[in-house]
Amino acid sequence: MMQLADIVRVLESIAPTERAEPWDNVGLLVGDPAREIDALLLAVDVTSAVIDEAIHQGAHLIVAYHPPIFAPLKRFVAGHPAFEAARHGIAIYSPHTALDVAAGGTNDVLADALGMTARRPLRESGVGRIGGVTGTARHLLERLKAGLALDTALVAGPLDRAVSTAAVCAGAGGELLSDALAARVELFVTGELRHHDALRAEANGLTVFALRHSESERCALPALEKRLLAELTGVRVERSREDHDPFVFA
């Protein structure tokens, strides 16, 4: 068992919140720092199913990649995830973009799945990763799917090309498409991309893999779980079984 404030210090050592994007809302969003915690649940999103799971498991902390409080709230009423968590005495901590840029964080997990070497940030503020890879786009796609336990991915551009340089950006990576094009990479891996951005990438000879938004981020949870298990004392750490991508193929 550990005090919530001490768990927060460990989380911030893994993904320092000062490195999050200025528009983001990260850190402890719900909860009493003085509360003793003996179990926590890892998830991408705080949904009613995840809250019910936390209640059932006796986990009084949800570490959720996406912050359930993002824009300023004008009402804090029943049904909102933050209200429901507070009602049941469950704290919420969100690392979001701080985890993206952290060493061993979301973008490094994507880079690892590609076998990326000599990597560096795609944008100097720390966002994304760019580095060397080996193989065809098709080979790298299969490697990604196997490494991230994905059945499918959206692809724009050629699959049978040789790729020596790739870039990754978890989540909605459209903002970094220009960076990837300027860096002349052959492959750009992200979570989701707008239709016209995909056309732009294809027209410029860039192959794009869109893994789905939360699937490009959920892959970071096992690595975070492993680090928390190593650094927290007397706290049960589990990944949510109810947390899932809202989209399915039908």
**What residues does each domain of the chain span?**
2-96+220-236, 106-217
Q: Does the pLDDT value for residue 178 go beyond 90?
A: yes
Q: Residue 120's pLDDT is what?
A: 97
User: Is 140 a residue whose pLDDT tops 90?
Assistant: yes
Distance in angstroms (rounded) separating the CA atoms of residues 191 and 211: 5
Domains 2-96+220-236 and 106-217 are alike in CATH topology:
yes
- Domain range 106-217, its CATH number among 3.40.50.40, 3.40.1390.30, 3.40.50.720, 3.40.50.150: 3.40.1390.30
Work out the percent of the chain whose per-residue pLDDT is above 70. 100
Whole-structure pTM value: 0.94
DSSP 8-state class, residue 19: G
Beta strands, E only, 34-183: 36-37, 39-43, 61-64, 91-94, 117-120, 129-136, 154-156, 162-172
Produce one character per residue of 111-147: b if its CB has 16 or more CB atoms within 10 Å, e if not. Answer: bbbbbbeebeebbeebbbbbbebebbbeebbeebbee
- Looking at residue 248, what is its pLDDT? 85
What are 199-230's pLDDT values in tens digits?
999 999 999 999 999 999 999 999 999 999 99
What is the model's pLDDT at position 164?
98
124 pLDDT higher than 90: no
pLDDT digits (tens, 9 = 90+) for 30-74: 999 999 999 999 999 999 999 999 999 999 999 999 999 998 888
Residue 125 pLDDT class (50, 70, 90 cuts): confident
| pLDDT tier, 189 (very low <50, low <70, confident <90, very high otherwise) | very high
Q: What is the pLDDT of residue 141?
A: 98
Q: Which CATH architecture has domain 2-96+220-236?
A: 3-Layer(aba) Sandwich (3.40)
